[in-house]
Amino acid sequence: MADCFSLQNIFENFKSCLSDNKEVYIKYYIAGWRELVSFMNTLGSLFSFISKDAVTKIQILEKFLTGENGTHYTTVQSMVKYELDNKLVDLTKGGNYPASGCRTLLRLHRALRWLQLFLESLRTSTENSKTSVMCSEAYNASLAQHQPWLIRKAAEMAFCTLPGRDAFFDVMNAGSHQEVIALLGEALPLISEVYQITEDLYAKNNLLDLP
Ligand code: 1PX
């Protein structure tokens, strides 16, 4: 429900993501995504195909985290090491591990780039800016490159139904527009840091194109 959601909750989770030595805790990463999904669920049924896919991916990671090898899934760093050391990742084409932790998290990681771009453009937007345009620009500069035509079209259709900027600021449930903008300014560096650490780790291990 719209009133249960708050922008603050999302950021608290992404803040908790980073350990002292800059590893990314999967537990808080997926908790951040759960909050985002609950926000998306307030936007109407055209978004449900997106939130369903996000939930599926969150559940895959949760299962690893609570499973018998869960300790290896404490951080993104430990997951990458464990799955690579034990050859649990399909590196070039589909094989025995279509739902590895590494490839599943990569999908969310790419979506985090979308979030980063979208929130930054919301933060710097003016009264006349359109959320649908900001959303689709962020999408085209990130996730769209990894998705087929049909999904891109469905996503574009959903974006057109987004509430206008004022209503969008209201549903973020973080006070006045000025307060929302201030909160975005605080939170974006955190999200960017989590994104960049993951990106560097994946790049170093040649994991950015996992099938
Ligand atoms: C405070 C503002 C917050 C806004 C919250 C919005 C949360 C957005 C969550 C998006 C999560 C998307 C996960 C997508 C993962 C993905 O790329 N999956 C594809 C590939 O997976 P596969 O297993 O097949 O390799 C999959 O094909 C995806 C299908 C669903 C469509 C994805 C379209 C993504 C659009 C993201 C923009 C969300 C718009 C929210 C509007 C505010």
- pLDDT value at position 146? 96
Residue 51 included in any domain: yes
Residue 49 maps to which CATH number? 1.10.3520.10
Residue 61 included in any domain: yes
Token pair in block for residue 60 = 């895959």
d(CA 57, CA 36): 13
- Among 151, 121, 154, 153, residue whose Cα is nearest residue 135: 121
Pocket lining: 138 vs ligand 1, CB cutoff 6 Å? no
| Domain residue limits at 81 | 2-204
Residue 60 included in any domain: yes
* 202 in Cβ contact with 208 (< 8 Å): yes
- Among 79, 53, 54, 86, residue whose Cα is nearest residue 65: 79
Residue 180 included in any domain: yes
Q: What string of pLDDT tens digits covers the 211 residues of the chain?
A: 444 678 888 999 999 999 999 999 999 999 999 999 999 998 889 999 999 999 999 999 999 999 999 999 999 999 999 999 999 999 999 899 999 999 999 999 999 999 999 999 999 999 999 999 999 999 999 999 999 999 999 999 999 999 999 999 998 888 999 999 999 999 999 999 999 999 999 999 999 999 9
Pocket lining: 55 vs ligand 1, CB cutoff 6 Å? no
CA of 54 to the centre of ligand 1 (A): 6
Question: Strand runs (DSSP E) across 50-202, as ranges?
Answer: none
Residue 210 included in any domain: no
Identity of the amino acid at 85: D
d(CA 130, CA 113): 20
Number of domains within the chain? 1
- pLDDT value at position 5? 72
- pLDDT value at position 4? 62
Q: Please, which residues have CB within 8 angstroms of residue 157's CB and are 6 or more apart in sequence?
A: 46
CB atoms within 10 A of CB 107: 17
Residue 150 included in any domain: yes
Question: Strand runs (DSSP E) across the chain, as ranges?
Answer: none
Pocket lining: 114 vs ligand 1, CB cutoff 6 Å? yes
Atom of ligand 1 nearest to the CA of 147: 27
